[in-house]
């Protein structure tokens, strides 16, 4: 299915969805954080879409916003999209978990929490995964400072 066809279906799944193909072969869909779980659930269950596989979930720090990028694939229908969601709340960034939609999200959400500090509502066991529980801060944020390990040019 072409990106235009995907967009025509996805546009009806939520409100205020933004679309682009910016420097990507895949359709990019920006979803308001309040609609993330609902839209993702429909992306999987819609018979014309069947996005049954979240093959990459990545935390992001865009400077002003923190967020997550979901690369989704329909293994049956052979199409892919990129879903982006963000929050401007850097003090208490919170997004809905999609672990109940795609099991692969469970591990990835732990990783995003560990390195970016984004909390996932309804995640069954949100915790540090790679870093120790007493670690302070979130090392993949652009504003993270680690004086002991700074590389000086």
- What would the 3-class secondary structure string for 96-140 be? ECCCCCCCCHHHHHHHHHHHHCCEEECCCCCCCCCCCCCCCCCCC
Q: What would the mean pLDDT of 90-113 be, rounded to a whole number?
A: 97
Q: Which two tokens stand for residue 149?
A: 């390990």
Q: What would the mean pLDDT of 140-153 be, rounded to a whole number?
A: 75
Instruction: Give the containing element (helix H, strand E) for 3.
Output: helix 3-10
How many distinct structural domains can be found in the chain? 1
Which region among 35-44, 45-54, 129-138 has the lowest average model confidence (pLDDT)? 129-138
Identify the domain containing residue 98 by its residue range: 3-149
Instruction: Quote the pLDDT of residue 24.
Output: 78
pLDDT digits (tens, 9 = 90+) for 102-137: 999 999 999 999 999 999 999 999 999 999 999 999
Mean model confidence pLDDT for the chain: 94
CATH of the domain at 41: 3.30.460.80
């Amino acid at each position: 299915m072409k990106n235009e066809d995907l967009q025509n279906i996805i546009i009806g799944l939520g409100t205020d969805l933004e679309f682009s193909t910016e420097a990507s072969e895949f359709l990019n869909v920006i979803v308001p954080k309040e609609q993330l779980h609902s839209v993702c659930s429909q992306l999987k269950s819609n018979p014309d879409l069947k996005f049954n596989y979240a093959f990459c979930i990545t935390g992001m720090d865009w400077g002003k916003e923190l967020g997550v990028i979901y690369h989704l694939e329909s293994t049956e229908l052979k199409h892919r999209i990129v879903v982006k969601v963000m929050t401007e709340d850097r003090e208490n960034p919170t997004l809905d978990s999609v672990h109940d939609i795609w099991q692969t999200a469970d591990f990835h959400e732990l990783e995003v929490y560990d390195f970016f500090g984004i909390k996932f509502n309804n995640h069954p066991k949100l915790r540090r995964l790679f870093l120790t529980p007493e670690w302070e801060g979130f090392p993949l944020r652009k504003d993270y400072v680690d004086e002991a390990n700074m590389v000086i040019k």
